[in-house]
Amino acid sequence: MGGRFTLGQLAEALQATLDGDPTVVVTGVAPLEAAGPEHVSFLTDPRYRAAAQASRAAAILVSHDVEDLGRVTLRCKAPRESLIDLLTLFHPPAMVPPGIDPRAVVAAEARVHPTASVGPFAVVGPGAVIGARARLHALVSVAPGAEIGADSVLYEHVVVRERVRVGRRVIVHPGAVIGADGFGFVADTGRPRKIPQVGGVLIEDDVEIGANTCIDRGTLGDTVIRAGVKLDNLVQIGHNVEVGENALMAAQVGISGSSRIGRGAVLGGQVGVGDHLTVGDGARVGAQSGVAQDVPPGEKQFGYPARPTIQALRIFHAEEQLPALLRRVRALERRVAELEAERGGEGEAGRGHD
């Protein structure tokens, strides 16, 4: 819809309880500090309670357990989820008319669903399949035989190579490359020789792939991204990797070939995972960590190399004490040298007396 809503309409749409006048009209969503009387704002972290009380917003989206805020509120069970719905109401996805732009290049052998849209200068190769309501924006390239599932969106400059299958409701942001050759070479004779990369990539449903992210094809078999996975910008997924359902990876994560990332695992920014390793289901790896051995399911690790978080923090704390410890060691060495010199002098004096 977008545009203007009464608080009563929002309460109904969000299945929220309104503590205030249902006829008040609002026109947008804004942060607590920037909101005016025409906005709805939100309190999803109790640390910002004072800011919510001082906000000029017409109403504050809160959870059911927030009390005595002294403001008009929209109370809901899961405020973060409701915030997504609220933002979608005010900022609905742009409608793209179906059809193939006359400036696109679509092979006669390609199958493009009548409800799909193909933007200007996009290229769809022979045998490629574009599903219902899929949207290919300008300059997207879909190679021969590749498949794009229903309701998926590929933004500008996305490249989908051969033997790639993209599921339903997948979002691929600009510049991502899916299905490039994996990094595989043999140098037994001293000269690196390329291993043919003849596998593919399988992207399951409801995956989101960030800008300039790269997912390499398998050497043999598929690189697999399971349903619900969310990849940030500039992520590198090597050949024959499997990423489990609903895993999350922040920017600049790199996964080496043939590794396994478990269901619901979370990798912070710039985490590196070595080849043929397993990060277990539900594991958490902190930013800039280097994973050099398997991470057990549910474990939290951090550091370079990655260790269990408590152990890593103890090591970091010990490292902070190294300068003082070094000074103490040097002072002790000087004192030991002084004592040895004194004992040596006493020995010389005794021999002279004899």
Shared domain for 278 and 304, answered yes or no, is yes
CA distance 63 to 79: 6
pLDDT of 3:
82
pLDDT of 350:
61
CA distance 313 to 307: 9
Q: Per-residue pLDDT tens, the chain, 354 aa: give them.
A: 458 999 999 999 999 999 999 999 999 999 999 999 999 999 999 999 999 999 999 999 999 999 889 999 999 999 999 999 999 999 988 888 999 999 999 999 999 999 999 999 999 999 999 999 999 999 999 999 999 999 999 999 999 999 999 999 999 999 999 999 999 999 988 899 999 999 999 999 999 999 999 999 999 999 999 999 999 999 999 999 999 999 999 999 999 999 999 999 999 999 999 999 999 999 999 999 999 999 999 999 999 899 999 898 898 888 899 999 999 999 999 999 999 988 877 666 666 555
Which CATH number do you get for residue 34?
A: 3.40.1390.10
Number of other residues whose CB lies within 10 A of the CB of residue 64 = 13
Shared domain for 346 and 259, answered yes or no, is no
Contact (Cβ atoms closer than 8 angstroms) between residue 288 and residue 306: no
Contact (Cβ atoms closer than 8 angstroms) between residue 124 and residue 107: yes
CA distance 13 to 89: 9
Shared domain for 284 and 344, answered yes or no, is no
Q: What is the residue type of 34?
A: A
What is the 3-state composition of the chain as percent helix, strand, coil, each rounded to the nearest 5?
A: 20, 30, 50
pTM exceeds 0.85, yes or no: yes
Residue 107 falls within a domain, yes or no? no
Residue 195 falls within a domain, yes or no? yes
Residue 126 falls within a domain, yes or no? no
Contact (Cβ atoms closer than 8 angstroms) between residue 89 and residue 5: yes
Q: Which residues contact 249 (CB under 8 A, 6 or more apart)?
A: 229, 230, 231, 232, 235, 243, 255, 261, 266, 267, 271
CA distance 262 to 301: 14
Residue 200 falls within a domain, yes or no? yes
CA 170 vs. chain centroid, Å, equals 15
Please report which residue ranges of the chain form alpha helices under DSSP H: 7-14, 49-54, 79-90, 309-320, 322-353
Q: Which of 239, 276, 317, 353 is flagged as catalytic?
A: 239
Shared domain for 303 and 329, answered yes or no, is no
Provide the Cα torsion 325, 328, 330, 331; round to 10°: 170
CA distance 310 to 299: 11
CA distance 202 to 267: 21
Contact (Cβ atoms closer than 8 angstroms) between residue 82 and residue 64: no
Contact (Cβ atoms closer than 8 angstroms) between residue 200 and residue 222: yes
Shared domain for 193 and 272, answered yes or no, is yes
Shared domain for 180 and 280, answered yes or no, is yes
DSSP state of 48: G
CA distance 170 to 306: 31
pLDDT of 2:
57
Structure tokens at 37: 């009387």
CA distance 16 to 8: 9
Number of structural domains found in the chain? 3
Q: What is the residue type of 62?
A: V
Residue 122 falls within a domain, yes or no? no
Shared domain for 84 and 193, answered yes or no, is no
173 belongs to the catalytic site: no
pLDDT of 155:
98
Structure tokens at 347: 């020995």
CA distance 63 to 73: 9
CA distance 106 to 126: 8
Shared domain for 175 and 251, answered yes or no, is yes
Number of other residues whose CB lies within 10 A of the CB of residue 98 = 15
CA distance 67 to 44: 13
First to last CA, the chain: 109
Residue 269 falls within a domain, yes or no? yes
Shared domain for 76 and 215, answered yes or no, is no
pLDDT of 67:
86
Domain of residue 267 covers 161-311
Shared domain for 300 and 241, answered yes or no, is yes
Shared domain for 210 and 300, answered yes or no, is yes
